[in-house]
Amino acid sequence: MEMLDSDAVLVERTLKLNDQQAFARLMLRHQLVVRSLLARCCRNDRHAVDDLVQETFLRAYLSLSSFRSEAKFSTWLYRIAFNLVADKFRRKSLDYCDLDSIQGIADNCKLLSQSDLRGDLVKALDKISEQQKIAVRLCLEEGYTHADAAEAMNLPLGTVKSHVSRGRAQLQQLLVHWGEVA
């Protein structure tokens, strides 16, 4: 097997031939991007990132038979990673939000104190719906396009755009005392 085999070929080899080397190649191919995504979500907490990367690939391996090749393997894998983080966040197991990276909000606030802004932003995020919060984080914090966020959230594109727009508008209202928000 060559390193240049497509993801689809490696998935097929893993499933049909129980080829562990094929899955190992998939892990090697995608682990840096998965790790980077999770590092941003976990404020570079290496232990949390290591655990989540391991859990992402374990879940991917265990549910590989449910992968539909209509989507790219990478998109499916990143959705698993995202869902793990979203799950942990919902359960409040860890504080995953890197507030500095929410460009559309924090960059344009007139900062009186970074810690005060963080506190206010956390409170504001808790006041918007879960779907809006996830959409805002994906698009404004993680840099996903609306289309990529729609695929990751398994929602129609228009719904994600609406969640981002409404979430941003609510955050603007909740953070109005910080100044103009983009």
3-state SS of 56-114 is HHHHHHHCHHHCCCCCCHHHHHHHHHHHHHHHHHHCCCCCCCCHHHCHHHHCCCCCCCH
Statement to judge: residues 75 and 123 lie in one domain:
no
Question: How many domains is the chain built from?
Answer: 2
Of 42, 66, 90, the last residue of a domain is 90
Of 36, 62, 90, the last residue of a domain is 90
For position 112, which CATH number holds? Answer: 1.10.10.10
Question: Is a pLDDT exceeding 90 seen at residue 127?
Answer: no
Domain that holds residue 56: 7-90
Of 90, 116, 137, the last residue of a domain is 90
The answer to whether position 2 is within a domain reads no
Mean pLDDT of 170-180: 70
The answer to whether position 51 is within a domain reads yes
Contacts of 12 (CB under 8 A, 6+ apart): none
Question: Is a pLDDT exceeding 70 seen at residue 21?
Answer: yes
The answer to whether position 173 is within a domain reads yes
Statement to judge: residues 162 and 112 lie in one domain:
yes
Instruction: Write down the pTM of the prediction.
Output: 0.53
Query: What percent of the chain is modeled with pLDDT above 70?
Result: 76
The answer to whether position 56 is within a domain reads yes
The more confident residue out of 6 and 44 is 6
The more confident residue out of 11 and 181 is 11
For position 62, which CATH number holds? Answer: 1.10.1740.10
